Every structure is written in structure tokens, then in C-alpha cells.
């Protein structure tokens, strides 16, 4: 039971720190608001001054946290951009290589077909007739099954 509560508290803490990093301006305003509330609860100018001082410290801490978060986010964004550029370059290289290989295969197939047409034209004509007959019979079978 205690472990579950600890895990939930850690998640809550991470969520709060993420909110502060994601919204530094709002975190500063919250810090000022908390300071204001603290100052309103005190009586006397010394206590009021201490409250304002605390609010200023809280705002300063929020500002520092926001600046640190901004620097870290900038670093992460830069590294992410570099990784994306690297991956896109590799993908382009692989696509180019694939295209070249495919072009070579098509060229070989075309020259082989041309050679067969020149050497054995009867085989090419017979193959074309067989393919046409198979397509025709398939179409006829489909039409017949539809009614």
C-alpha cells in the first residue's frame, strides 16, 4: 500500500514539474499569487514585507526553473533535428539505391524479353495467346457465376 502511494506521489511530482516546465509564465503567476495570499494572511507591515519577499523568491525560482527548462528543451530539439536529418538522409540513400536496382532489373527483363522475341517469336505469341485465353475464361466464369 505504501509503495502504491509513493508511486502516485512520484507521478504527481513529475506532472507538476512538467507543468512548470511547459508553462513557466503561469508558474510565475501562481508563485506570485501564493505570495500574495501569504501576505494577506499576516498582520503588520513586517509580516507583510516578509510575505512579499517570499513571493519574490518564489517568482525568482519559477523564473530560473523556466529558463532551465527552456535550455533543456532547446537542446533536445536540436538533437532531435539532427537525428531526423540523419535518418532522412539514410532513407533517401536507400530509396535511391532501391530505384537504381529496380531500374537495372527492368532493363534486364526487357532485354531478355527482346532476346526471346527475336530468337523464339512463336513462344512469345503462344504465351500471349495463353494469357489472353486465361483472362477470357476467368472473366467468362465470373459472369456465369453472377447469373
Question: Which helix (H) or strand (E) element contains residue 59?
Answer: helix 45-119
pLDDT tens digits, one per residue of 77-107: 888 888 888 888 888 898 899 889 888 888 8
Computed over every residue of the chain, the mean pLDDT equals 79
Q: What is the domain count for the chain?
A: 1
List the Cα angle 101/105/111 in 5-degree steps: 145
Q: What residues make up the domain containing 92?
A: 2-146
- The residue count of the chain comes to 147
Percent of the chain at pLDDT > 70 equals 89
The C-alpha cell at 113 is 524479353
pLDDT of residue 48: 65
Q: Is the pLDDT of residue 75 over 80?
A: yes
- In this prediction, residue 131 carries a pLDDT of 86
DSSP character string of 111-145: HHHHHHHHH-HHHHHHHHHHHHHHHHHHHHHHHHH
Residue 38's pLDDT is: 66
Amino acid at each position: 500500500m505504501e509503495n502504491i502511494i509513493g508511486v502516485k506521489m512520484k507521478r504527481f511530482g513529475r506532472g507538476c514539474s512538467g507543468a512548470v516546465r511547459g508553462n513557466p509564465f503561469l508558474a510565475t503567476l501562481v508563485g506570485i499569487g501564493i505570495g500574495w495570499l501569504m501576505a494577506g494572511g499576516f498582520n503588520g507591515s513586517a509580516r507583510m514585507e516578509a510575505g512579499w519577499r517570499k513571493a519574490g523568491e518564489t517568482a525568482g525560482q519559477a523564473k530560473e526553473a523556466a529558463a532551465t527548462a527552456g535550455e533543456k528543451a532547446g537542446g533536445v530539439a536540436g538533437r532531435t533535428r539532427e537525428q531526423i536529418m540523419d535518418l532522412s538522409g539514410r532513407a533517401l540513400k536507400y530509396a535511391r539505391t532501391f530505384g537504381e536496382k529496380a531500374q537495372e532489373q527492368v532493363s534486364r527483363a526487357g532485354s531478355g524479353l527482346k532476346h526471346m522475341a527475336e530468337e523464339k517469336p512463336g513462344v512469345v505469341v503462344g504465351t500471349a495467346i495463353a494469357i489472353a485465353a486465361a483472362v477470357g475464361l476467368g472473366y467468362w466464369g465470373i459472369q456465369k457465376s453472377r447469373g
